[in-house]
Chain A
Amino acid sequence: METYKPAINHIDTDILIIGGGAAGCAAAIEARETSPHARIIIMEKAQIERSGCLASGINAINAYITENQTPESYLEYVKNDSHGLLRDDLVYTIACRINQATARVESWGLPIMKDQGKPLQKGPRSIRIKGESIKPIHAKKVRESAITVLNRVTATNFIVNRGSVVGAYGFNLRTGQFYAITAKGVIIATGGASGIYRSSNTGEIAHRMWYSPFNTGAGYAMGIRAGAEMTSFEMRFIPTRIKDSATPTGILAQTFNMPQVNILGEQFLKKRYGFTRDKKVTSCERLHYMFKELKAGRGPISFTMDHLTGEQIDDLKLTLLDMSPAFVLQWTANAIDKHQEGIEIGTSGPYINGGHTQSGYWIDRERRTTLPGLYAAGDVAGGAPKKYVSGCWVEGSIAATTCLADSAVQKETQLYEKDLQTELARTYKPHNLYNEKKDGIFPQEMETKLQKLMDEYAGGIYTFYDLHERRLQIAQRQLLELKKDGEMLLARDFHELNLCHEVLDRIDVAEVVIAHLLTRKETRWPGYQTRIDFPDQDDTNWLCFVNSIRDPRSGEIHMTKKPYDADALLKDLY
């Protein structure tokens, strides 16, 4: 059988943005506003009108400086929530601009709920919006800004010349056409990674998850393969979510004041663990103490809603339609009502994520990655937890500004034939293998195997998310075997070819996750990263970042401890 020969599109541009979600769109629009004549391309795996985490919409801006808050108080809150370790400079630069970024998206048409002219608060640092069409609104602004959008083109690797990123390769997952896009600057904004671990839901409902199942860690994997420095992959994100539907719980807890109780009806966080209004539980502890209750046999944990009026329930359902319509249907189908056992809480994940936790590219204050020519924004960028949608907008803007300034002095962007041929061979290999002998492994099979081993040995729900050195070593060994099997992947069509690259990307991410989990020999974030062999927080040795670089030649992962110095990070900022 002849080797598949795709049509090859070589496009040269000034700025290439990979990923057209909140961060990518904000970056593109900022770049256009700063530079009216720059050539700007967004490479997007789906269609920007409904791509990324916000496909269904969202009902709140979860990072916002409300009346009683300041950027300083915001930083303090996030730092406490992240157990004392984060990139103060990144969080602070986000906090200073989140309201401005929100106002900007409001000017594009995003409806923000108001109370006497002021944004209506959802919680202490969040506001409510009518965000069903948040993605179409972004897309409309992008289209008005003369930005080229390549929909259904998935990125496979960066084009790297002598250590600098000068573009990216990708292919159209419907037509199979290949793209080599050279650029003076590249902004990576592909989001985080789901599907590294087996989901709490499996089989037919495996994609009933909170994070987008289509955020597959491509941006991380491309950076890992190119030798970019990554941070904090051991801080996994495992949110408590409405059981089965994986719907966010914040709106229930904060806006509708629904208390969390165990099977005995106890508000266990207060009664058993002493958390109060003054001594607040952190995000990871919320999971940790819920599982303590489950292990003690006092599950399930539920929200009670006895206090809600019919009118409030209708308001809640309407709000949920802006983000999780499927849960509203499930609610009705199962006739959940306030006189029964309430709304049960489960978990979703673990996810690798830089927008809620802080896993991602190690970047400087201006959002430069460690690879010249590459900038990172949004969930793929590390160090700044709880940035949420509005933080992604800010990071997109900062990355675009830096990228434009740097690209004014950027080097030549040559595409070498040898590199192109290497990537072509790698990209279409599963398709060629299928045409050649039809014997091998389908990506769905490999994905399931990856998720199973990560679940059972690298701290999935199978072990209550707990971690142990020996188990992690088993995961590491099994993953190495699995990685070799990557050679045997088969793709019958281009959609399946994309699934092949998704699982290859996930394997590269998983390998780094395990290396990080093995390195941090303390429990920094109970719930997200509980080392049962090192159960305590150890500030003497581990109040530092764990970073990694995978050697692009040898494939070896080198781990480093980055000292943490909050004062140095905040120098000249405030």
Chain B
Amino acid sequence: MTITIDKKKCDGCGLSKQPPCMKSCPGNLIYKEFSMKKAVLRCGADCWDCYCCVKVCPKEAIDVVLAYEISNRGAFLKPKALDSNTIEWVLQDKQGNSTSYRQSTQYLPLEQDAADETFTEIGEGI
């Protein structure tokens, strides 16, 4: 479906060539616009709503937005890693009632790998 990236909160993770959102997307749907220092979604309809990018964004700038045709507006769901073993999800309905769910996990940050070092953006036309 789609995500939104809050332009005010997203700083493109500074000098990072591959911000965590871009790195974690299973569909290669996020790229970094270097001139603007922003992460950008290629195509909303290609998104799987898997929350991978939402979970890793250090600025909490990303949100999953369900299409109106299947979902009423006004509710939100936000994950936040409390520590390496807990994600707290805050679920809020449109009346503003919120519930939080503590998910036990083995939350592991994305690690750097050799490919990152050699990574250069030479894609054309994007």
Q: Which residues of A contact B (CB under 8 A)?
A: 45-47, 49-52, 55-56, 109-111, 130, 132-133, 136-137, 139-140, 143, 148-152, 173-176, 201, 203-209, 212-214, 244-245, 314, 317-318, 321-322, 325-326, 328-330, 332-335, 492-495, 498
B51 and A325 contacting across the interface, CB-CB below 8 Å: yes
B35 interface contact, C-beta 8 A: no
In the complex, what's the smallest C-beta–C-beta distance from A334 to chain B, in angstroms?
6
Task: Return 18 A-B CB contacts under 8 Å, by A number.
Answer: A49-B23, A55-B26, A55-B48, A130-B104, A132-B107, A133-B106, A151-B113, A173-B28, A204-B67, A205-B69, A206-B45, A208-B49, A212-B26, A325-B89, A326-B49, A326-B50, A333-B74, A493-B126
A333 and B75 contacting across the interface, CB-CB below 8 Å: yes
Structural contact, A174 and B119, CB atoms closer than 8 A? yes
Q: Chain A residues with Cβ under 8 A from B77's Cβ? A: 325, 328-329, 332
Q: B59 in the interface, Cβ–Cβ < 8 Å?
A: no
Name B52's contact: one of A55, A173, A209, A333 (CB within 8 Å).
A55
Q: Is the CB of A207 within 8 A of B66?
A: no
CB-based contact A47/B42 at 8 Å? no
Given contacts A152-B28, A328-B91, contact A111 B104 (CB under 8 A): yes
Verify if B15 is at the interface (C-beta below 8 Å from A).
no
Map CB proximity to A onto B101-120 as digits: 1 under 8 Å, 0 otherwise. 10111111011011100011
B107 to chain A, nearest CB (A): 6
**In the complex with contacts A149-B115, A493-B125, A111-B105 CB distance below 8 A:** yes
Closest-by-CB residue of A relative to B110 is: A49
Is the pair B91, A332 in contact by a Cβ cutoff of 8 Å?
yes
Q: Which listed residue (B26, B74, B91, B108) contacts A133, Cβ 8 A?
A: B108
CA distance A245 to B64 in the complex (A): 13
**Docked complex Cα distance between A207 and B23 (Å):** 20
Q: Assuming A109-B106, A321-B103, A333-B75, is B122 touching A175 (CB within 8 A)?
A: yes
| Known A139-B111, A329-B64, A333-B71; 18 more pairs at CB < 8 Å | A46-B27, A47-B25, A47-B110, A55-B50, A56-B48, A132-B105, A137-B108, A152-B28, A173-B28, A204-B67, A205-B1, A207-B1, A207-B45, A314-B99, A333-B72, A333-B75, A335-B72, A494-B124
* Cβ A47 vs Cβ B24 within 8 A: yes
Q: A50-B52, A214-B27, A495-B123 are in contact. Are A333 and B113 (CB under 8 A)?
A: no
Q: How far is the CA of A208 from the CA of B91 in the complex (A)?
A: 20
Inter-chain contact B75/A329, CB cutoff 8 Å: yes
| Given contacts A325-B79, A332-B93, A333-B73, A208 and B103 within 8 Å (CB-CB) | no
A175 to B92, alpha carbons, bound, how many Å? 40
A317 surroundings in chain B (CB, below 8 A): 91, 101
Q: Contacts A152-B115, A204-B2, A314-B101; is A56 near B50 (CB within 8 Å)? A: yes
**B101's closest neighbor in chain A, by CB?**
A318
A204 — which chain B residues lie within 8 A by C-beta?
Answer: 1-2, 44-45, 67, 69
Do B106 and A174 touch (CB < 8 A)? no
User: Nearest residue in B to A318 (C-beta to C-beta)?
Assistant: B101
Chain A proximity of B18: nearest CB distance (Å)? 9
Cα distance A148–B114 when bound, in Å? 9
On whether the beta carbons of A330 and B66 are closer than 8 Å, the reply is yes
**Among B47, B51, B111, B114, contact of A56 (Cβ-Cβ < 8 Å):** B51
Q: Which of B70, B79, B106, B115 contacts A150 (CB 8 A)?
A: B115
Given contacts A314-B99, A325-B89, A326-B1, contact A143 B113 (CB under 8 A): yes
**Nearest-CB residue, chain B, relative to A154:** B28
12-43 of chain B: CB within 8 A of chain A: 23-28, 31, 42
The answer, yes or no, to whether B83 is at the interface (CB within 8 Å) is no
10 tightest Cβ-Cβ pairs between the two chains A and B:
A333-B75, A326-B49, A136-B108, A329-B77, A492-B125, A56-B50, A50-B52, A132-B105, A244-B70, A55-B26
Q: Is the CB of B103 within 8 A of A318?
A: yes
- Taking the closest CB of chain B, its distance from the CB of A506, in whole angstroms, is 15
A495 in contact with B28 (CB, 8 Å)? yes
Determine the chain A residues whose CB is within 8 A of the CB of B51 once the complex forms: 56, 325-326
Whole-angstrom distance from the CB of A568 to the nearest CB of chain B?
41
A492 touches B26 (CB 8 A): no
Chain A residues with Cβ below 8 Å from B57 are none
Q: Which of B93, B107, B119, B121 contacts A136 (CB 8 A)?
A: B107
Q: Which residues of A contact B1 (CB under 8 A)?
A: 204-205, 207-208, 326
- Chain A residues near B46 (CB, 8 Å)? 207, 213
Give Cα distance in the complex from A152 to B118, angstroms. 13
Contacting residues, chain B, for A133 (C-beta < 8 A): 105-108
Q: Closest A residue to B97 by CB, please name it.
A: A332
CB distance from B31 to the nearest CB of A (A): 8
Question: Judging by beta carbons under 8 Å apart, are B103 and A174 in contact?
Answer: no
Report the separation of the CA atoms of residues A328 and B103 in the bound assembly, to the nearest whole angstrom: 14
Using CB atoms, name the residue of chain A closest to B79. A325
For B24, the closest partner residue in chain A by CB is: A50
Alpha-carbon separation in the docked complex, A335 to B92 (Å): 11
Chain B residues whose C-beta falls within 8 Å of the C-beta of A152 in the assembled complex: 28, 115
Q: Is B62 on the interface with A (CB-CB < 8 A)?
A: no
Q: Closest residue to B42 on the A side, CB-wise?
A: A495
**A334's closest neighbor in chain B, by CB?**
B72
Which residues of B sit under 8 angstroms from A498, Cβ to Cβ? Answer: 28
In the assembled complex, the Cα of A152 lies from the Cα of B119 at a distance in Å of: 11
> What A residues does B28 contact at CB under 8 A?
45-46, 152, 173-174, 495, 498
CA distance A321 to B101 in the complex (A): 9
CA distance A149 to B106 in the complex (A): 21
| Chain B proximity of A156: nearest CB distance (Å) | 15
B110 partner residues in chain A, CB cutoff 8 A: 47, 49, 136
Contact A493 B123 (CB under 8 A): yes
B99, closest chain A residue (CB): A314
**For the complex, what is the distance from the CA of A329 to the CA of B91, rounded to whole Å?**
7
> In the bound complex, do residue A50 and residue B91 qualify as a contact, i.e. CB atoms below 8 Å apart?
no
B27 is contacted by which of A176, A208, A213, A318 (Cβ under 8 Å)?
A213
Question: Out of B48, B72, B94, B103, which one reaches A130, CB within 8 Å?
Answer: B103
Tell whether A326 pairs with B24 under 8 Å between CB atoms, given A133-B105, A333-B75, A333-B94. no
Task: Report whether A245 and B70 are in contact in the complex, using a CB–CB cutoff of 8 Å.
Answer: yes
Q: Cβ of A205 and Cβ of B67 under 8 Å apart?
A: yes
